[in-house]
Amino acid sequence: MKYYFILILLLSQLNICQSQSILSSTEFRSPPVSSHVHTWWHWISGNITKDGITRDLESMKKQGISQATILNVGGFVSAKVDVPQIKFNTPEWYEMFQFALKEAKRLGITIGVHNSDGWSTSGGPWISEEMSMKTYVWSKTYIQGESTVNIKLEQPQATNNYYRDYAVIAFPTEENANSFAKAKPEIYINNRNTAKLLFDGNPKSKITVQKGDIININFTSDFTTSKIALFPYLAFTWSNMAEFSSNFVLSSSIDGNSFSKITDLSFVGLNKSIELAFPETKAKFFRLECKNITESCPIGELELMNDNDIPSYSPQISNMQEKTVSVSALSESCFDKTVQTSNNGIPKNSVIDLTNYVSSDGVLNWRAPKKGNWCIIRFGYTTTGVLNAPATPEGLGLECDKMDS
């Protein structure tokens, strides 16, 4: 017989008797319905027929299955199947669903159903960016105190062109923008301008690098550097993040045409700041060529610096991304107590709320009250861009905001 469904049995719920009494041989050979197997029932890639529904359910009944949860999924069948395609969330799909309920009732099987297409997350094409899961993003700007500033604050990166401002704050700091940020270079990946994404102090604003990609870093005048700081940022992958490796070749040029190799650069791991030293080099143009990589890698921060420079993203709390649930943690050790450093953090009473000093288009007009370096952070939020999966095209969409009642 030809089946148009794939039935995957998962012994996910075995209602085993919890009492200490010994089952009789009769009960063991013929368990009560409450102890029967529950299963996931995958409806794959729209290959759904009433005949297939009946045959699947009758087969389940013979195997002692008492409950089946329907999951409509896509992406598993590459060969064309000779049945009409039933698209998810259409009247035809609901007709099949109702038929399955009637057949299951006839056979004494309870039916459940996942709340969206696919099996991961809860979402679909009806979820707008405003209704989707969101994440904080930010940009940093340094100014000098005792002077009035009227500057356009860099808007943090937006996913799907969705961005909303939340707050702008300022605090005095001994730190200043490092030499790379002050030089304001232009960074291109495969000739596409990435603006300030790679040195905005926010690893969530990132570009994806693959084997063979070329990153060009162009300065307006000669720049001297002796180390590179990278922050490879990846929220989640099924692969082992600790074993993720990349190899680059760093080159420099005076005219932007003829490049000379400086060194090979290799790093292992994700979601941590990586600093690699190389011979001090003075040039106007630099190039990074990706020679090998475990898989496509989002680079969140990339800066060429001097020995005394500090990366734009340098939190004082260890494993900050893991502790804020921004990335998948490798182990429980990521949640150890805060590592104390010589920097005791920012005194709460030194933080000034500047939100009301910023126009709707992000222009700050303000006078810092005392001399020295001030750091301005523009906070906002955007959609995570996470989609439900593995979904059919008709059911694919953004994950709903589970933090919003």
Separation CA 120–CA 137 (nearest Å): 24
Separation CA 133–CA 119 (nearest Å): 17
Cα dihedral sign, 157-158-159-164 = positive
Q: Is 255 helix (H, G, I), strand (E, B) or coil?
A: coil
**Rounded mean pLDDT for each run of 10 residues along the chain, 405 residues in total:** 38 42 77 86 95 98 95 83 92 98 97 94 95 94 92 93 97 91 95 90 90 96 97 88 92 96 94 94 97 88 94 88 90 77 76 96 94 94 94 96 90
Residue 300, number of CB atoms within 10 A of its CB: 24
pTM (2 decimals)? 0.81
pLDDT value of position 271: 92
Output the average pLDDT for the chain: 89
pLDDT value of position 341: 56
pLDDT value of position 76: 75
Separation CA 220–CA 185 (nearest Å): 7
Angle, alpha carbons 13-14-16 (nearest 5°) = 145
The terminus-to-terminus CA distance of the chain in angstroms comes to 48
Residue closest to 289 by CA, chosen among 257, 255, 258, 252 = 252
pLDDT value of position 3: 38
Task: Spell out the alpha helix ranges (H) of 16-66.
Answer: 25-29, 50-62
Buried-exposed string 375-400: b where 16+ CB fall within 10 A, e elsewhere: bbbbebbbbbebbbbbbbebbbbbbb
Dihedral over alpha carbons 140, 174, 299, 221 (to 10 degrees): 90
pLDDT value of position 239: 85
With contact defined as beta carbons under 8 Å apart, do 180 and 199 qualify? yes
pLDDT digits (tens, 9 = 90+) for 63-73: 999 999 999 99
